[in-house]
Amino acid sequence: MNELKNDLLLRALLREPTERTPLWIMRQAGRYLPEYREVRAKAGDFMTVCRNPELACEVTMQPLRRYKLDAAILFSDILTVPDALGLGLYFETGEGPKFERPVRTASEISKLAVPDVSESLGYVFDAVRTIRKELDGQVPLIGFAGSPWTVGTYMVEGGSSRELKIIKGLAAEDPATLDKMLDTVARTTTEYLNAQVEAGAQAIMIFDTWGAALERDDYRRFSLDPMQKIVDGLTRERDGRRIPVILFTKGAGPLLTDMVGTGCDALGVDWTTDLADARKYVDDKVALQGNLDPATLRESPEIIRQGVADTLASYGKGPGHVFNLGHGITPDIDPEHLGVLVDAVHELSPQYHE
């Protein structure tokens, strides 16, 4: 495998010293970039881009051509896993993801079986290999998956849902069946992520967008425990280097104290928690990634720079911070504004690493 020319991200995720704070942006490849919209329009739809390794590679590389970022993230989606479980993922134009065959009853759930990921998700591993070749060691490649709970919300609800009525009903009325479904998703996800690592992913992130919609005991049972099973089963070293694992429960707040014990290397933090408080919650046992409010990118260059300065200051001095937004960049952002953010991190972060 090719030598890594910029390993700032991997070092920061392991809380090793770096000369500045590394950064990447959640959803850095995506709809705010005109060149992404062009590729997607030519391909026809989003899943066609995901399923074509050359196109997935092209859109992964696009933000790296524009900005001095310290990581690439695989272009794919968290819903490839339930698609491989047979639920039939599709996107209706202008709408979120949907499933042809949601699973809700004990009998539907008992029929779910861990698929052969090398077959059903082979296109993802092909994309990983293609991207690694194209990156040529420029920056590390992050592989990812959704948490079983977050993926489960789409599987049961049949698409995006604010209130999560059906899955919360299942949690209340038949929790053992829900446990079973989450276990199948966790086992599939473990194989899926290990195959991404095998193909060349150099760090792993698990996105738990909807875990904080649960009360704390339910969070532990339905969100944290299945993530724990994944972390326990992950390949943690490859080519003589540790593969850092980042867990991100959006809106976690004090739940961060529960997440530290999973054995992850880093935790993502959204903008509703101050990084100084997050650092206390985790007692400097893991690295932190975050957490500027994505809305800040709508503001003037001065306000964006101030937002970066405040985020860096709230983490404070020392290793273990990866700069990011608190959630994904939204489609309405002017790409030049992201340039202001990236330059500000390069300029303002070295003073925190003396």
Taking the complex as a whole, how short is the minimal distance between the CB of residue 131 and ligand 1CP, in angstroms? 12
Would you tell me how many other CB atoms lie within 10 Å of the CB of residue 197?
Answer: 20
The CA distance from 323 to 269, in Å, is 10
End-to-end, the C-alpha distance of the chain in Å comes to 32
Q: Report 159-188 residues binding ligand 1CP (CB under 6 A).
A: 160
Helix (H, G, I), strand (E, B) or coil at 232: helix
- Does the footprint of ligand 1CP cover residue 29 (CB under 6 A)? yes
Tokens representing 140 are 């590390």
Q: Which residue in 164, 144, 145 sits closest to 154, CA to CA? A: 164
Say how many residues make up the chain.
Answer: 354
Which residues sit opposite 23 in a β-bridge? 323
Q: Is 350 in the site for ligand 1CP (CB under 6 A)?
A: no
- Residue from 18, 21, 28, 194 in contact with ligand 1CP (CB under 6 A): 28
Taking CB under 6 A as the criterion, which residues in 79-118 touch ligand 1CP?
A: 79, 96-97
DSSP three-state, residue 206: strand
In the complex, residue closest to ligand 1CP by CB: 160
CB of 268 to ligand 1CP, least distance (A): 10
Residues binding ligand 1CP: number (CB under 6 A): 22
Residue type, 185: V
Question: What HEC string does 262-328 produce?
Answer: HCCCEEECCCCCCHHHHHHHHCCCCEEEEEECHHHHHCCHHHHHHHHHHHHHHHCCCCCEEEEECCC
Positions in 126-145 near ligand 1CP (CB under 6 A): 144
**Options 154, 192, 219, 315, the catalytic residue:** 154
DSSP 23: B
Choose the binding region for ligand 1CP from 22-30, 164-172, 264-272, 315-323 (rule: CB under 6 A): 22-30
Using CA atoms, how far apart are residues 300 and 303, in angstroms rounded to an integer?
5
Q: Judged by CB, which is closer to ligand 1CP: 29, or 247?
A: 29
Smallest gap, in angstroms, from Cβ of residue 160 to ligand 1CP?
3
Cα–Cα distance for residue pair 241/202, rounded to 1 Å: 9
Contacts (Cβ under 8 Å, ≥6 apart) of 276: 314, 315, 316
Q: Is 40 in the site for ligand 1CP (CB under 6 A)?
A: yes
Q: Which is nearer to ligand 1CP, 46 or 352 (CB)?
A: 46
Q: Of the listed 77, 208, 218, 270, which one is catalytic?
A: 77
Determine if 206 is a binding residue for ligand 1CP (CB under 6 A): no
Contacts to ligand 1CP from residues 43-82, by CB under 6 A: 46, 73, 75-79
| In the complex, minimum distance from the CB of residue 129 to ligand 1CP, in angstroms, rounded to a whole number | 17
Residue 31 bears catalytic tag:
yes
- Catalytic annotation present for 40: yes
Torsion of CA 123, 124, 126, 131, to 10 degrees: 140
CB of 195: closest distance to ligand 1CP in angstroms?
A: 17
Check binding of 328 to ligand 1CP (CB under 6 A).
Answer: yes
What does the alpha-carbon distance between residue 17 and residue 11 come to, in Å, rounded to a whole number? 7
Strand partners, 97: 91
Site for ligand 1CP in 230-289 (CB under 6 A): none
User: What's the Cα-to-Cα distance from 177 to each of 103, 148, 160, 172, 224, rounded to whole Å?
Assistant: 11, 14, 21, 11, 17
Among 4, 13, 14, 26, binds ligand 1CP (CB under 6 A): 26
In the complex with ligand 1CP, which residue's Cβ is closer, 73 or 275?
73
Report the chain's C-alpha Rg in angstroms: 19
Whether 154 sits among the annotated catalytic residues: the reply is yes
Q: How far is the CB of 19 from ligand 1CP (least distance, A)?
A: 25
Pick the binder of ligand 1CP from 207, 222, 271, 315 (CB under 6 A).
207
* Contacts with ligand 1CP, residue ranges (CB under 6 A): 26-31, 40, 46, 73, 75-79, 96-97, 144, 146, 160, 207, 209, 328
Active-site residues, by number, are 27, 31, 40, 77, 154
